[in-house]
Structure 1
Amino acid sequence: MICERCQKRPATVHYTQIINGQKTEMHLCEECARETGQLNFEPFTLPFGSFFSIDNLLSGLMDYTADDYMIQSVKCSFCNSTYEDFKKTGRLGCARCYNVFRDRLMPLVRKIHGHNLHKGKVPKRAGGNLRIERQIERLREQLNDAVRREAYEEAARLRDQIKELEKKLGR
């Protein structure tokens, strides 16, 4: 893919912005990304004039509670980072910080993602079985919902779809 701005170099920076449900994508080379400010991760101005930074977003989602003072004194034994450091920067010091601050991070993860389990996306070309397993999970959730609503014809259709997908997996 070629840079959308200069039309010369390969696009290596892919930027997606969603504002009020409007999705905008840019595919830029590294040089154009630097020139437009999309490569550095400092605060940038949105089209409607407000400032945004990931640091401000994360710190805004974190609420101070009575036990914050106790948490602040806890340090990662590997990198010496504190939870207060995370609240200021939005970044953990090292991979071990996830375990050290787990009790405080999980509510934040749930607040951002809606749950604390990250599933990620499955590439279209690879991950065929994983894609089918996730589809089965979704269908089972729909099946349980249909049974709760007593929509038995829909439940039977969903059950049959699940069986077909399980055959593909060799179950």
Structure 2
Amino acid sequence: MECEICHQRPASLHVTNYVEGNKEQLHICHQCAVDEGYVEAEQAYQIHDLLSGLFNVSHSVKQQRQERNKEAVACPTCRMTYQDFAKTGKFGCSDCYQAFDAQLDPLLRRVHSGNTVHVGKVPHRQHEHLKQKQLIQAYRAQLNQLIEEERFEEAATLRDKIRAIKDRPPGDMKEAD
């Protein structure tokens, strides 16, 4: 495969960028990669660089140099900088999560397909039981609200729904209306 920039040398670097959900691939030779700022002239690759690349928000060496020139944000507790985190992939203390919150949000969105909140997983055999339990909790919250508002007839109907759900086996989860 030839370089997509100079069309003279074989491509030795394959760059994949995801911009607004669109995948863009670029296949370039080492010389064009140096000229465009993707790599430095004598840069050697290590597995550590590949893994820590997940934590770098910037896409090129030029952008990395610009970011280094900016004032580095540091954790107030352990004094770790975001650049230190990007190199090691580990935080120095629990306060680093708060200190680097602005940098972590885009990183987590990229790594976790846009999700930044952990919702957990439910074992398959417990799914129906937990679904039933959550529905009862939601109905109880509504029931308490209805009692506070002195809407007793509606509260009695909801109470009956809760009883009906409790009497059903967990595998038979069809919401009673």
Q: TM-score, normalised by structure 1?
A: 0.39
Bigger relative contact order (CA 8 A; separation at least 6): 2
Q: Which has the larger radius of gyration?
A: 2
Please report the TM-score for the alignment, with normalisation by the length of structure 2: 0.38
